[in-house]
Amino acid sequence: MERLAVLREGYRGFRERYYPEHRELFTRLTEMGQAPKAMIVSCCDSRVDPTVIFSAQPGDLFVVRNVANQVPPCESGGQYHGTSAALEFAVLGLGIPHVVVLGHAQCGGVAAFLDRMHRSDARDDGAAPDGGFIDQWMSLLEPAWTRVRRTRPEAEGAALQRALEEASVVHALDNLKSFPFVRERMAHGALSVHGGYFDIPTAELSVFDPAHDAFVPLASDDD
């Protein structure tokens, strides 16, 4: 536990300050269960915390985090589907009315995918190099990569990464709609899906506007 001193101190602060101030909230959540306002599919990146970005309290958000905030397409094959299971529970079990896919700047998963593509281009046979768990997971981005290369052929460096980060959110939204229970509830107006993009250095949140196929800044009351 000595190596976890920072976690121990954080927990101590939670017990001494936060919990006493919110004791009634925890009692209510225990007695009544959870009824989150939205599900957030976010990246594992430690700099992008949905509860902080949205000033949320316990019970407000149902959050699932994975590398590069991806949603796999609906499929019955394979063995383990953590994100799909969380989505199913949120929509069918909790009746959540909103699902938000939250992408962000400087995404390590997207950077890993781009590095893999660059290594593939450097090979004589053009084949993608063998990778581990991250490469396999990030292969979900291949349709988004194809779209970016078609629509933004001139993009390189940071511009290319941002374009792919944004495209990955749009692709995840498309994959959300491959789940029958998502499509059914959307058709009945019981569920809506949204895309967001958080810029770490400016703390600016942009939302995807399908009508213009673009991310637009979400203005705060002070703007």
Give residue-wise pLDDT tens across range 137-188.
999 999 999 999 999 999 999 999 999 999 999 999 999 999 999 999 999 9
Structure confidence at residue 130 (pLDDT) = 61
Average pLDDT over residues 37-51: 98
Structure confidence at residue 1 (pLDDT) = 54
Structure confidence at residue 120 (pLDDT) = 72
Give residue-wise pLDDT tens across range 93-118.
999 999 999 999 999 999 999 998 88
DSSP code, position 73: P
Tokens at 74, concatenated: 């609906």
Structure confidence at residue 223 (pLDDT) = 46
- Is residue 131 scored above 70 in pLDDT? no
Residue with tokens 């949140």: 205
Average pLDDT over residues 43-63: 98
SS3 127: coil
Query: 157-176 and 108-122 are packed helices; what angle lies between their axes, rounded to 10 degrees?
Result: 110
Structure confidence at residue 219 (pLDDT) = 75
213: left (phi over 0), alpha (psi -120 to 50) or beta: left
Q: What pTM value is reported for the model? A: 0.91
Look over the chain and give the mean of its residue pLDDT values, rounded to a whole number.
Answer: 92
Determine the longest span between alpha carbons in the chain, in angstroms: 64
Provide, rounded to the nearest whole percent, the portion of the chain with pLDDT above 90: 84
- Is residue 128 scored above 80 in pLDDT? no
Distance CA 30, CA 157 (A): 48
157: left (phi over 0), alpha (psi -120 to 50) or beta: left
Domains and CATH numbers, the chain: 1-33 (no CATH), 34-217 (3.40.1050.10)
Distance CA 101, CA 103 (A): 6
Region of poorest pLDDT, from 3-7, 82-86, 126-130: 126-130
Pairing state between β 204-209 and 38-43: unpaired
